[in-house]
Amino acid sequence: MSASPSILSVLSEDLLVRVYGFLDPPCRKTWRLISRDFFRVDSLSRTSIRVLRVEFLPALLLKYPNLYSLDLSVCPKLDDDVVLRLALDGAVSTTRLRSLNLSRASAVRARGLETLARICHALERVDVSHCFGFGDREAAALSAAAGLRELKMDKCLSLSDVGLARIVLGCSKLNKISLKWCMEISDLGIDLLCKKCKDLNSLDVSYLKITNDSISSISMLPKLEVLDMVSCPLIDDAGLQFLENGSPSLQAIDVTRCDRVSLSSLISIVRGHPNIQHLKASHCVSEVSASFLHHIKALKHLKTICIDGARVSDSSLETLSSSCRSLTEIGMSRCVGVTDIGMMGLASNCLNLNTLNLACCGFVTDVAISAVAKSCRNLGTLKLESCHMITEKGLQPLGSYSKFLQELDLTDCYGVNDRGLEYISKCSNLLRLKLGLCSNVSDKGIFHIGSKCSKLLELDLYRCAGFGDDGLAALSRGCKSLNRLILSYCSELTDTGIEQIRQIEHLSHLELRGLKKITGAGLSAIACGCKKLAYLDLKLCENIDDSGFWALAYFSRNLRQINLCNCSVSDTALCMLMSNLSRVQDVDLVHLNRVTVEGFEFALRACCNRLKKLKLLAPLRFLLSSELLETLHARGCRIRWD
């Protein structure tokens, strides 16, 4: 007797796509495995993928013909040869691709980029940030993608004005470009960019050594909405004043750490752009003056203001908050003069506040936090690092009123104790919690977090000396969604607690630095249970023997970054690790006393075609073979000699 047809088979493809869209990612995976209909729907409807292994790339492109976005940023062994083979494979189609992420793909050079630009006709967004080998030749190759709208080239240190000129001449439709840390770009390149790409609406020139001449050119962009120029040391007030009557569409500007910028130039920007929504001037304004506040009153649509490091007063905060009631984000970390009175006034006026940064505001007490919690019911992010006067009395109203709180930073708040964590645990939507250096926190307090904050994604317990195995067991049982966990220097932790981490299956980032009591048994348990682990810090874990590293080599195939400094790994175990961890790209190998020069040589040869960053002791520069070092350099690996 033949099997009865699936009920799904009577549904149209459109209905199946709609049903599939309501499923969360784990459920989608399950249905794909048990239903041919959903397997087909997934193949046709998926528009983006992140590839982890380059050998699967052709098959994935065949399986998903309607891809719009392709992320190859964590794909080791990606180079020009792979791209050329892809182009020669007639069955593989890339004509629909609009977004391509090649961040840190240092081995893809001009030949590969030219091929990609040729076969991806619809390409609109490209990210080549942190590509060690991206220079003028590569920029010239990429300029063949004439339809580019967005381009991110952060920290492409070899890119000069010549390469940027090729880009802007070939890609005149650009409307968003980021040149952060491209240190060879000068006023000449920025001027040409502004003349040829008139449709630019977002520009990031942070950390560049450009002068006021560049700001003059930027001010001529009629559609510019977002300008980021963090830490531009040569820009001063005269440069920013060009913007007063220029860039008429400007909505957001960031001049954080521009040392030569003062309030006078910010006033000119405010005066010329009354509809500006986001103003960030952290660590460049010494004081919030009456003149600045007078002009800020005109910004009725202001949503974000960051004045970290400035001197403020209670009256200035009252004026600011009463004038700009639409504020949703306020940054005042390290501001001198922030008191409870000023914060109470701010809280009563800015009822829509979502993000508040009061880090290192030492005079803020429980009174201010209570006022913020009671008035700002939509608060989503609260940063209180080093606010030493905060106690459980301030955290109690947070637990009662801040039901939408998702991120809370209490780093170095030594007034926080177990009772305070009990109150915080009532914030059931909490996703990120930082408790580093909170010395009065113990297992009892962590138990409350583990039992009630089931949605938690990130938890930082750096140097929480009172926290031990029982607390970690409670976290492992209750916080199954954790993907980032920092336990460095929690000296009471042993294998008994560490072994419980294996229950957190989604964990991808784990820091265990300085845990002297864990051994190979604890690390083996983590390796067996946490298969998604991508980042692991084992620095100064001196009692882990080779058994733990063998387990890591066998089970943790998704590891991309690992720190083994001061570990007791042997030649054999290191070679096995570097050989088996086929996705590892960033490794710290300093002070490995049991590893010989030959051990380093063999281990690095096993992974030299995929490493992008490597840290070694300086003497090894003269002991390792020149052939190996040349190969690493040719593959785009950056070596830091310690």
Buried b (16+ CB within 10 A) or exposed e, 189-220: bbbbbbebbeebbbbbbbbbebbbbbbbbbbe
Q: What is the pTM of this model?
A: 0.92
Contact 499, 525 (CB under 8 A): yes
Other CB atoms within a 10 A radius of the CB of residue 21 amount to: 10
The string of DSSP letters for 532-588 reads T--EEE-TT-TT--HHHHHHHHHH-TT--EEE-TT----HHHHHHHHHH-TT--EEE
Sequence spans of domains, the chain: 46-185, 198-284, 494-502+527-641
Distance CA 472, CA 450 (A): 9
Distance CA 318, CA 294 (A): 12
The SS3 assignment for 19 reads helix
pLDDT at 58: 87
Q: Let me know if domain 198-284 sits in CATH 3.40.225.10.
A: no
Nearest residue to 107 via CA among 566, 631, 596: 631
Which token pair is 318? Answer: 């009252």
Distance CA 241, CA 316 (A): 24
Superfamily of the domain at 46-185: Ribonuclease Inhibitor (3.80.10.10)
Residue 130's φ and ψ, nearest 5 degrees, are 60, 25
Nearest residue to 372 via CA among 418, 414, 327, 334: 327
Report which residue type is found at 3.
Answer: A
Other CB atoms within a 10 A radius of the CB of residue 279 amount to: 22
Which token pair is 246? Answer: 């220029």
494-502+527-641 topology per CATH = 3.80.10
Buried b (16+ CB within 10 A) or exposed e, 156-168: bbbbbbebbbbbb
Could you report the per-residue pLDDT of 91-137, keeping only the tens digit for each? 566 788 999 999 999 889 999 999 999 888 899 999 999 998 899 99
Distance CA 553, CA 581 (A): 6
The string of DSSP letters for 102-145 reads -TT-TT--HHHHHHHHHH-TT--EEE-TT-TT-BHHHHHHHTT-
pLDDT at 91: 57
Contact 270, 244 (CB under 8 A): no
Query: Residue for token digits 């492109």?
Result: 61
Residue 2 gets which letter from DSSP?
A: P
Same topology for domains 46-185 and 494-502+527-641, yes or no?
yes
Distance CA 247, CA 225 (A): 8
pLDDT < 50 stretches in the chain: 1
Distance CA 203, CA 205 (A): 7
Q: What is the SS3 assignment for 151-179? A: EECCCCCECEHHHHHHHHHHCCCCCEEEC
The SS3 assignment for 74 reads coil
pLDDT at 99: 95
The string of DSSP letters for 452-489 reads H-TT--EEE-TT-TT--HHHHHHHHHH-TT--EEE-TT
The string of DSSP letters for 610-632 reads T-SEEEE-GGGGGTS-HHHHHHH
pLDDT at 592: 96
Q: Kindly give the interhelix angle for 520-529 and 546-555, rounded to the nearest 10 degrees.
A: 10
Nearest residue to 323 via CA among 265, 256, 270, 379: 270
User: CA dist 94 to 123, 272, 508, Å?
Assistant: 9, 45, 30
User: CA 312: distance to chain centroid?
Assistant: 31
Distance CA 117, CA 98 (A): 11
pLDDT at 1: 42
The string of DSSP letters for 409-429 reads E-TT-TT--HHHHHHHTT-TT
